[in-house]
Amino acid sequence: MSRTTVAAIHLDALRRNLARIRALSPGAKVMAVVKADGYGHGLERVARALAEADAFGVAAIADGQRLRAAGHRQRIVVLSGPDQAADLAELRRLHLDAVIHHDSQLTWLQADRDPRPLRVWLKIDTGMHRLGFAPERTRAVLEQLQAMPSIERDIVLMTHFAASDEFDKATTTDQIARFEAATRDLPGERCLSNSAGILGWPAARGDWVRAGGLLYGLSVIAGKNGSDLGFAPAMSLSTRLIAINRLQRGERIGYAGTYECPEDMNVGVIAIGYGDGYPRSAPAGTPVLVGNARAAIVGRVSMDLATIDLRNAPSACVGDRVLLWGRGLPVEQIADHAGTIAYDLTCGMTKRVLFVED
């Protein structure tokens, strides 16, 4: 097997990032959010590196099943709970925690006669307006859940922030206040913060934090890289230079000839494209690293290949490794160029990419 496009996953970075989250959240338990195949880093691999987490958060029951099959015994929280009545049996069988956020789920639970225990988290919508019960219903829904015989008594009260990355905005302060008002005097642990909440809203620490992006070293704050925040990138994506061509001034490169050489220059061809998950939207000027030299995408990214301006890397040779993002080249920079966020890039790696651990 000679695949040249490699996503190296830095297990030590995952571990260090978890330790840093713990240091930022004294007294709180940490749910490592590993949905979307561990933000594209590989579910089992990430969970193994983060086996010390107090819980895992997933989006799908199937991910919970994979984690149980890999031997993880801690709590696994399905962040959107059952999608249909039939999911309840699977949640119970696998000992997965269910987030309950909607009346339809209450109806399924009420009708369910399965005696096996089920742990639930009650989600309150404090302003995100995606999942959750209206704050004023919190007490009634909690009591309804507590009255169900097979539901564990300890129910975690949770909410999700819509804009916790904007530290100077009132949105999060309002959400925290609404959550506190809705849960005052109610029993149970509290869980509010995502990554940005962990960084910027200590008042929202609660008993549990839910960390996603920061675990992978991904920035959750516009204009900052994960490393600016003290987190290490967990993925380095690289490929090889497979051709170097000397092109004349005025020659055009790639599909639709979107780039015209401004002078005679060396243009490299690298073995990566949108078929690997490198964004087709990355425009000319998006940086790559050839050794220590910073080069840039020119022309259109195609399915298997992309072209780079080698004027800044005169000693580049066919066979050299080229870094697309990771250690030394923050994925946030690439995301900015491509008009998306870092999460979208790491989640987008395709099956063709070879994952290795280091």
Chain residues in the site for ligand PLP (CB under 6 A): 33, 35, 79, 160, 194-196, 210-213, 220
- Which of helix, strand or coil describes residue 82? coil
The set of long-range contacts for 263-266, using a CB threshold of 8 Å and a minimum separation of 24, is 265/309, 265/310, 265/311, 266/310, 266/311, 266/314, 266/316
CA 336: distance to chain centroid? Answer: 17
Q: Give the span between the Cα atoms of 51 and 74, in whole angstroms.
A: 9
Cα 261 to chain centroid, rounded: 38
Looking at residue 277, its amino acid is G
For residues 55 and 305, which CB has a smaller minimum distance to ligand PLP in the complex?
55
Quickly tell me which residue has 């097997």 as its tokens.
1
**Smallest distance from the beta carbon of 212 to ligand PLP, in angstroms?**
2
In angstroms, give the least distance from the CB of 329 to ligand PLP: 21
Torsion of Cα atoms, 31 then 34 then 36 then 40, to 10° = 140
| CB of 31 or CB of 301, closer to ligand PLP | 31
| CA separation for the pair 324, 278 (Å, rounded) | 8
CB of 182 to ligand PLP, least distance (A): 17
In Å, how far are 44, 74, 122, 276, 313 from 71, measured between CA atoms? 10, 9, 27, 30, 47
Determine whether 35 is an active site residue.
yes
The answer to whether the CB of 226 falls within 8 A of the CB of 218 is yes
Nearest approach, Cβ of residue 123 and ligand PLP (Å) = 8
Nearer to ligand PLP, 158 or 338 (CB): 158
Give the nearest distance from C-beta 355 to ligand PLP in angstroms: 20
Query: Minimum distance between the CB of residue 95 and ligand PLP, rounded to whole angstroms?
Result: 20
CB 76 within 8 A of CB 44: no
Is the Cβ of residue 164 or residue 239 nearer to ligand PLP in the bound state? 164
Note if 278 is an active site residue.
Answer: no
Q: In the complex with ligand PLP, which residue's Cβ is closer, 208 or 274?
A: 208
From the list 123, 169, 224, 255, the catalytic residue is 255
Question: Can you tell me which residue has the tokens 């302003």?
Answer: 127
- Using DSSP's 3-state secondary structure scheme, residue 349 falls into coil
What are the residues whose beta carbons fall under 8 Å from the beta carbon of 116, sequence distance 6 or more? 92, 93, 150
The size of the chain, in residues, is 358
Element containing residue 162 per DSSP (H, E)? none
Residue 81 or residue 273: which is nearer to ligand PLP going by CB?
81
Which candidate in 29, 35, 123, 343 is catalytic?
35
- Quote the CA–CA distance of 98 and 187 in Å, as a whole number: 18
Q: Which is nearer to ligand PLP, 145 or 196 (CB)?
A: 196
CB of 165 to ligand PLP, least distance (A): 8
User: Known catalytic residues?
Assistant: 35, 255
